Amino acid sequence: MKYLENDENRGKRIIITVIGPDRVGIIAGVTGILAANNFNILDISQTIMQEFLVMVLIVDSENSRLDLSMLKDRLAAKGAELDVRIDAQHEDAFKFMHRL
Amino acid sequence: MLTLQEIMETITMVQEEHLDIRTITLGISLRDCADTNPRAACQKIYDKITRLAGNLVPVGEEIAREFGIPIVNKRISVTPISLVAESSRTDNFLLFAETLDRAAAEVGVNFIGGFSALVHKGITRGDQKLLDSIPSALDITERVCASVNVATTKAGINMDAVALMGRIIKDIAQRTADRDGLGCAKLVVFANVPEDNPFMAGAFHGIGEPESVINVGVSGPGVVKRAVERVKGSDFGTLAETVKTSAFKITRMGELVGRTAAARLDVPFGIVDISLAPTPAIGDSVAEILEAMGLERCGTHGTTAALALLNDAVKKGGAMASSYVGGLSGAFIPVSEDAGMIRAVEEGALHLDKLEAMTCVCSVGLDMIAVPGDTPAETISAIIADEMAIGMINQKTTAVRIIPAPGKQVGDSVEFGGLLGRAPVMPVHRFSSANFVGRGGRIPAPIHSLSN
């Protein structure tokens, strides 16, 4: 998650979280949407928490024309298809809570 | 460096622990809307509210989506109407209430606060007209909230106003009897009322406030409860520290949302109200936090101490997280809006007297209490007087929002639905307070008001 400390692209970064049972095609599904809409992936990490796959992607929205609201809709639709929950939030929601 | 655990903690707070921003409230000064012609005044009020608040709801929804945190309510508070309408040539302020209702509906907010009067030292003619208009205003309008400040530490308690409020509350209950006395849920009687409170029904835009301002009320009893459960059996120092840490995180979200909303609406950011505001949802209860601390039921011996610790730790954590703290800022203990409180009352663990004691150590007061419909007006006034005395002596805000439920007795309950929830009817003392309340005049300000 080191990219969050780099302030160059501050305000343009979005955090995408994927939570659900692990299965084939999750990363492909999410990254496919991101690539098609010109979001640059800065970091991906994943872990297993209480039997669920938890994946967090940090993406740069600088060169994308899709706004956060529309990205959320597309990811949510893909999530429904893959039976996982996918959400996208502005990074400030996390930085503000955990950092001064 | 943000860790995966921190990101997941935030997600869990929102998705499983009911973390939300309870309200962003746009305060609007209506002082420039006064006019001797009441219709002209109301037109100015309508125009100003719809102009300034037109974007409030869309901006709130946009921010909620971007940060992934629900913003439950978008609301408006205005200058106390007793001040705005005082110079209008009319004996009835109902037109003003209807105007507020219409403006609120137009911009899509569910409540608008400020059908209010400040009468802690005395009642002006404008105040009197407003007080007289409250019962019909709360009956006829849907979204208008009223509040009346009847006491301050500096001025003492206006017992004439307290006596009047008992009768007004009874009147509202009768007029809204077909809705279980719902009108009473939209009226708060205050001591030491804050001028920047974002929470309904007591919000208004104080006279020291700017032209317009954004104030934010946070929520999050569920988050605190889970945190308290994780330190089961630990000592009080650890417990207080745990609550502080949770309150800090909750409040940071409020600060972020408030600053963002203010910037997008191009109005100054006022304050974050660091209150723990419960909802009727299971797990989003202040009573359940107290129970998680080790009390079998909220209301038993130890409850006041537990609440004191909780309230203080919330303030300490919240104060660190926000640059400007204001409003009510403390734990709320509304009965009907808190599933744990409702259960405690229904199981006989929590009584009115204990609730009154609890209000000494938290914000705000006897909130959303249903009492039998045949409770005399003087008894309601006496309940208000007790609460006002606590506020006056302890230099804190206290309030009463009480519903003498029409036709209901102890054992019944009233159902308001939504965030207002369900209130079991609580017993009141059967001995009369009428001769006390009937004395008239003011209770003088306490000795420690002489602080200059």
B62 at interface of A, judged by CB pairs closer than 8 A: yes
Mean pLDDT of B363-385: 95
DSSP, collapsed to helix, strand or coil, labels residue B52 as helix
Spell out which chain A residues touch chain B, with contact meaning CB-CB distance below 8 angstroms.
1-2, 4-5, 15, 17, 19, 45, 47, 49, 54, 56, 68-69, 72, 87-90, 92-99
- Which residues of chain B neighbour A18 with C-beta distances below 8 Å? none
Question: How far is B261 from chain A, CA to nearest CA, in Å?
Answer: 14
Computed over every residue of chain A, the mean pLDDT equals: 86
Is residue B237 pLDDT above 60, yes or no?
Answer: yes
Mean pLDDT of B369-379: 97
pLDDT of the residue at A3: 43
CB atoms within 10 A of CB B42: 25
Closest residue in B to A100 (Cα) is B321
CB atoms within 10 A of CB B96: 29
Mean pLDDT of B144-154: 98
How many CA atoms within 13 Å lie on the side-chain side of B311? Answer: 20
DSSP, collapsed to helix, strand or coil, labels residue A28 as helix
- Which residues of chain A neighbour B67 with C-beta distances below 8 Å? 89-90, 92-93
With pLDDT > 70 as the criterion, what percentage of chain B qualifies? Answer: 100
Is residue A1 pLDDT above 50, yes or no?
Answer: no
Is residue B296 pLDDT above 80, yes or no?
Answer: yes
User: Is A96 within 8 Å of B66 when comparing Cβ atoms?
Assistant: no
Answer whether A79's CB lies under 8 Å from A37's CB. no
Query: Who contacts B417 (Cβ-Cβ below 8 Å, separation ≥6)?
Result: none
Answer whether B107's CB lies under 8 Å from B56's CB. yes
**Rounded Cα–Cα distance for residues B68 and A75 (Å):** 14
pLDDT in tens, B272-284: 999 999 988 888 9
Reduced to 3 DSSP states, what percent helix, strand and coil does chain A have, rounded to the nearest 5?
40, 35, 25
Q: Is residue A43 left, alpha or beta, with left meaning phi > 0 and alpha meaning psi from -120 to 50?
A: beta
User: Is B249 within 8 Å of A2 when comparing Cβ atoms?
Assistant: no
pLDDT of the residue at B430: 95
User: Between the CA of residue B97 and those of B79, B427, B445, what are the distances in Å?
Assistant: 13, 33, 33
Task: Report the length, in residues, of chain A.
Answer: 100
Task: Go through the domains of chain A in sequence order and give each one's CATH number.
Answer: 2-98 (3.30.70.260)
Is residue B257 pLDDT above 80, yes or no?
Answer: yes
Is residue B34 pLDDT above 60, yes or no?
Answer: yes
pLDDT of the residue at A6: 46
pLDDT confidence bin for B1, thresholds 50/70/90: low
pLDDT of the residue at B376: 97
Q: Please compute Rg for chain A using Cα positions.
A: 13
CATH of domain B4-191: 3.20.70.20
Is residue B93 pLDDT above 90, yes or no?
Answer: yes
Note the helical H segments in B16-119.
38-53, 56-67, 81-85, 94-107
Give ranges for CATH 3.20.70.20 in chain B.
4-191
pLDDT of the residue at B137: 98
DSSP, collapsed to helix, strand or coil, labels residue B176 as coil
Q: Give the H/E segment covering residue A35.
A: helix A26-36
Mean pLDDT of A27-55: 90
pLDDT of the residue at A8: 47
Q: Which of B1, B4, B7, B269 to mutate to test the interface with A (most CBs of A within 10 A)?
A: B7
pLDDT in tens, B384-408: 999 999 999 999 999 999 999 999 9
Computed over every residue of chain B, the mean pLDDT equals: 95
Task: Please state the pTM of the whole predicted model.
Answer: 0.92
pLDDT in tens, B53-86: 999 999 999 999 999 899 999 999 999 999 999 9
Is residue B204 pLDDT above 80, yes or no?
Answer: yes
DSSP, collapsed to helix, strand or coil, labels residue B21 as strand
How many CB pairs below 8 Å do chains A and B form together? 67
- Which residues of chain A neighbour B256 with C-beta distances below 8 Å? 92-93, 96-97
Tokens matching residue B50: 């719809």
Answer whether B336's CB lies under 8 Å from B422's CB. yes
User: Is B3 within 8 Å of A95 when comparing Cβ atoms?
Assistant: no
pLDDT confidence bin for A7, thresholds 50/70/90: very low
Is residue A2 pLDDT above 50, yes or no?
Answer: no
Closest residue in A to B249 (Cα) is A97
